[in-house]
Amino acid sequence: MAEQPIRYEFIKECKQTGARLGKVHTPHGSFETPVFMPVGTLATVKTMSPEELKAMDAGIILSNTYHLWLRPGQDIVKEAGGLHKFMNWDRAILTDSGGFQVFSLSKFRNIEEEGVHFRNHLNGDKLFLSPEKAMEIQNALGSDIMMAFDECPPYPAEYDYMKRSVERTSRWAERCLNAHNRQDEQGLFGIVQGGEYEDLRTQSAKDLISLDFPGYAIGGLSVGEPKDVMNRVLEFTTPLLPKDKPRYLMGVGSPDALIDGAIRGVDMFDCVLPTRIARNGTVFTAEGRLNMKNAKFERDFRPIDEECDCYTCKNYTRAYIRHLIRCNETFGLRLTTYHNLHFLLHLMEQVRQAIREDRLGDFREEFFERYGYNKPNAKSF
Amino acid sequence: MAEQPIRYEFIKECKQTGARLGKVHTPHGSFETPVFMPVGTLATVKTMSPEELKAMDAGIILSNTYHLWLRPGQDIVKEAGGLHKFMNWDRAILTDSGGFQVFSLSKFRNIEEEGVHFRNHLNGDKLFLSPEKAMEIQNALGSDIMMAFDECPPYPAEYDYMKRSVERTSRWAERCLNAHNRQDEQGLFGIVQGGEYEDLRTQSAKDLISLDFPGYAIGGLSVGEPKDVMNRVLEFTTPLLPKDKPRYLMGVGSPDALIDGAIRGVDMFDCVLPTRIARNGTVFTAEGRLNMKNAKFERDFRPIDEECDCYTCKNYTRAYIRHLIRCNETFGLRLTTYHNLHFLLHLMEQVRQAIREDRLGDFREEFFERYGYNKPNAKSF
């Protein structure tokens, strides 16, 4: 079998917590893990240029198969030379399978063994997405890491429903593997489902591992369940997964969940959180979040975070950012987005450094204390 | 008298057309003329960063006194250390006086000798702007070049009305000069008015020249009059102005008007045109304008303009830009804005080079032919 395009290099485990330090090698460069992946839904990380993402050391970004399928369409991206060329990004790209959007965006859907019938959320057209179609689209996009087409049930979900869904997702995973026709250029990850049920998670993991994917995602989390449920599921799921393959927790991006996920053996994370809240003026700081629209910043000429060395904090004040956001000036969104992405990417570098020093547990305590997570009814980002 | 903060250095005249090549020296650097000034209404050139403006060699930008007076307010900008610091731009800044916005934005206004009573276009509050207030605000902003507070009558305007307006604007100009209290740091330009009436233009110029401003703007053009009226007014107005002072034609930015203005002795131009049309997907090319939303670009993998070496044209295709604009992705607006500003700034460099080579007339013909200006009912940009 040709050499796998995606390879995980395990470096070390944090003696204090068991968190993993590693590296993922892809046809478009390598990146250290645990890693946070900025989301570029429509072949652009909203408001950011590729150069800005590189300046903050983003080694991999995520793009959405469902959205790119609808606009501009995978054949146009393929004709352009693939997603990397189309969007002028020469580092790694992960594409999801579209499964999550089918279940989260579309009001009318009908799940069959063959695939899912549903409505285009933009114009109501009838659409059909299947394992084969999801592979065809992602093979056309040319991402480095592809995701298997799965069902992502809501939380909570009845046990019996979840059981049938896991079984179907495992069958779909096999069909994905068979339909994936660029196996030497693109690595396909399986997605472990099973909700909060340990036996179903175990079954799902077992099915997928038997298909020997180059990496495994943990799906069906961060869909509304409490933090302790997510942590518990991670605690009995990641140990099931091979040590020599990357583990990717989908849709998680709050600072606490990133640290707690890493502690529970997760290597890769993605989320729209930093970019989405930035567009509302909300920013991360070492001492918790702030909303730049707040009147108290009107004459605050300090940077967002005095310890941050990102472009935004080195050059602009809270007063100026507040002015731009209140006037709906695009540059304001660029500044808050830049800062938030840099904050999470830098947080992951601190996590990796703490793993190197076998002290991720201590780092967690320091970070949680300062960020305000230990305060009563602290919010999760 | 302290050395003037704004100084014009005449370099040469184009033997073919009489257009002027020069340099303007300011406390925040020098720039060659004829020059185009990107507009940064609310202390930001929409979607652009200061670094991007510098990368395309913008030596001076314009910001709006009226808008900054309302948001965030000149005292906040002053407290921030002035407009340059507030917006992280260390090259030259010109601020207008707010006069144009009073007459173009506000529905209810009452012009008196003292100043103008009108309504805040955002919340309807009653406001009053006078020569003294316009100086106070611009002195607080700390721009390099300030504009006198004037009345900008609409086009067309009755002769008698225009005559009274010119006389009042001249009286206001004197009051501006007296109220300007940072004369060694900021240069104040007078604004020649008088509509299409040669004698009134002559009177206005004479009044202002007697006050010995460091530069003169030609106002009351590009307010809806036909191109030939603008050209005719320039032809009898610029010769009235001192050769050793810069001449600034306000609110002009279409390629033809820039070239024709330079040929008629204008040194400085500003306009929202390139940034405004960019946000609608319209872009300049050497062969006329294109709208990136057009379906014919769906699979067009060429740059906007194959001869353009801007960031956008070196890295992105029409198909990708169309995709971004159709999906309302901010990065698409950044790319079209970057290209349009670079196009006009580069056009002015070509104009300056043609003046150096005494062939601006030939350049005009070549440019107009290729751009499509010679076609029947060609549009003006």
Taking the domains of chain A in order of start, what are their residue ranges?
5-269, 276-369
Please calculate the CA angle B249-B251-B257 and round it to the nearest 5 degrees. Answer: 70
Q: Which residues contact A30 (CB under 8 A, 6 or more apart)?
A: A23, A24, A59
Taking CA atoms, what residue in B is nearest to A75?
B299
**What is the pLDDT, as a whole number, of residue B272?**
96
Instruction: Name the residue among A71, A88, A326 with its Cβ closest to that of B327.
Output: A71
Contacts of A297-303 with C-beta under 8 Å, sequence gap 24+, read A297/A321, A297/A322, A298/A322, A298/B72, A298/B76, A299/B76, A299/B79, A301/B79, A301/B80, A301/B81
Determine the length of chain B.
381
Q: Output the pLDDT for position B99.
A: 86
Q: Which chain A residue lies closest to B335 (C-alpha atoms)?
A: A49
**Any idea which residues of B carry the catalytic annotation?**
96, 270
Identify the residue among A88, A89, A315, A331 best suited for mutation to test binding to B, counting B beta carbons within 10 A and taking the highest: A331
Counting one residue from chain A and one from chain B, the pairs whose CB atoms sit within 8 A come to 97
Chain A residue nearest residue B300, CA to CA: A80
Cβ B150 vs Cβ B106: under 8 Å: no
Residues B188 and B177 sit within 8 Å (Cβ to Cβ): yes
Q: Measured between CA atoms, how close is B355 to chain A, in angstroms?
A: 36
Q: Which residues of B touch A334 (CB under 8 A)?
A: 47, 49, 330
Q: How do strand B288-291 and strand B282-285 relate by DSSP bridges?
A: antiparallel
CA distances to A99, A165, A170, A266, B276 from A204, rounded to whole Å, are 16, 10, 7, 17, 53
pLDDT for position B2? 59
pLDDT averaged over chain B? Answer: 96
Is B97 part of any known ligand binding site? yes
Task: Measure CB to CB from residue A320 to each of B87, B320, B324 and give the nearest one.
Answer: B87
- Under a CB-based contact definition with an 8 Å cutoff, are residues A136 and A74 in contact? yes
Interchain proximity B327–A42, CB inside 8 Å: yes
* Chain B residue at shortest CA distance from A302: B80
Preceding peptide of B242 cis, ω within 30°: no
CB B84 within 8 A of CB B142: yes
Nearest in space to B219 (alpha carbons), one of B172, B278, B169: B169
**Whole-number pLDDT of residue B106:** 66
A28-50 exposure pattern, b = at least 16 Cβ within 10 A, e = fewer: beebbbbbbbbbbbbbbbbbbbb
Tokens of A279: 């567009």
| Cβ contact B80–A320 (<8 Å) | yes
Return d(Cα A82, Cα B319) in angstroms, integer: 13
DSSP letter assigned to residue B39: B
Whether B11 has a pLDDT exceeding 90, the answer reads: yes
Q: Are B151 and B193 in contact (CB under 8 A)?
A: yes
Measured between CA atoms, how close is B37 to chain A, in angstroms? Answer: 19
- Interface test mutation site (partner B, options A45, A85, A314, A327, max chain B beta carbons within 10 A): A327
Interface of B with A in 133-192 (CB under 8 A): none
- How many helices (H) does chain A have, and how many strands (E)? 15, 16
Residues 6 or more apart from B38 whose CB is under 8 A from it? B45, B48, B53, B58, B61, B62, B270, B274, B275, B341, B345
B81: annotated binding-site residue? no
Interval B290-339: pLDDT, tens: 999 999 999 999 999 999 999 999 999 999 999 999 999 999 999 999 99
pLDDT for A228: 94
- What residue of A is the nearest CA neighbor of B315? A88
What is A63-125 written as a DSSP string? E-HHHHHHTT-HHHHHHTTSHHHHHT--SEEEE--SHHHHHHH-SSEEE-SS-EEEE-TTT--
Q: Which residues of A touch B43 (CB under 8 A)?
A: 320, 323-324
Closest residue in B to A313 (Cα–Cα):
B88
CA distance to partner chain B, nearest, from residue A38 (Å): 15
B106 labelled binding-site residue: no
- Which residues 51-110 of chain A have a CB within 8 Å of chain B? 71-72, 76, 79-81, 86-88
At A377 the pLDDT is 79
Percent of chain B past pLDDT 90, that is, above it, reads 92
Quote the crossing angle between the two packed helices B255-263 and B330-356, to the nearest 10°.
Answer: 20
The sign of the dihedral angle between the CA atoms of B95, B96, B97, B102 is: negative
CB contact under 8 A, B76 and A316: no
**CB-CB under 8 Å, A320 with B86:** yes
Q: Where are the extended beta strands (E) located within chain A?
A: 7-13, 20-26, 29-33, 35-38, 60-63, 92-95, 109-111, 116-119, 126-129, 145-147, 187-192, 216-218, 247-249, 268-271, 282-285, 288-291
Is there a contact between B254 and B274 (Cβ–Cβ < 8 Å)? no
Question: In chain B, which residues have their Cβ closer than 8 Å to the Cβ of A320?
Answer: 43, 80, 86-88
In A, residues 313-372, which contact B (CB 8 Å cutoff)? 315-317, 319-320, 322-324, 326-327, 329-334
Q: Which of B52, B321, B330 to mutate to test the interface with A (most CBs of A within 10 A)?
A: B330
Q: Which residues of chain A have pLDDT under 50?
A: none
**Taking CB atoms and an 8 Å limit, are A79 and B42 in contact across chains?**
no
pLDDT by residue (tens digit) across B143-180? 999 999 999 998 999 999 999 999 999 999 999 999 99
Angle, in degrees to the nearest 10, between helices A198-210 and A227-237: 40
How far does A333 lie from chain B, in Å, by closest CA? 9
Cβ of A330 within 8 Å of Cβ of B329? The answer is: no
Is B339 annotated to bind ligand?
yes
Q: Decide if A331 and B47 are in contact by the 8 Å CB cutoff.
A: yes
**Within 13 Å and on the Cβ side, how many CA atoms surround B195?**
18
Q: Determine the residue among A323, A326, A333, A336 to mutate to test chain B binding: the one whose Cβ has the most chain B Cβ atoms within 10 Å.
A: A323
Q: Which two tokens stand for residue B136?
A: 């106070």
Q: Does A210 touch chain B (CB under 8 A)?
A: no
Question: How far, in Å, CA of A354 to CA of A246, rounded?
Answer: 19
pLDDT at B340: 98
Nearest-by-CA chain B residue for A48: B331
Out of A42, A88, A319, the one facing B72 most closely (by C-beta) is A319
CB contact set of A77 (below 8 Å; sequence gap of 6+): A43, A68, A83, A86, A140, A141, A142
Is B14 annotated in some ligand binding site? no
Model-level ipTM above the cut of 0.85: yes
Query: Looking at the annotation, which residues of A are catalytic?
Result: 96, 270
Q: pLDDT class for B220, splitting at 50, 70, 90?
A: very high
A-chain residues within 8 Å CB-CB of B80?
Answer: 301, 317, 319-320
Q: What's the pTM? A: 0.97
Determine if residue B99 is labeled as part of a ligand binding site: yes
From the list B47, B86, B320, the residue facing A330 with the nearest CB is B47
Q: Which pLDDT belongs to residue B263?
A: 98
**Beta-carbon neighbour count of residue A183 at 10 Å?**
16
CATH topology of domain A5-269: TIM Barrel (3.20.20)
Instruction: Name residue, tokens 């709050």.
Output: A254
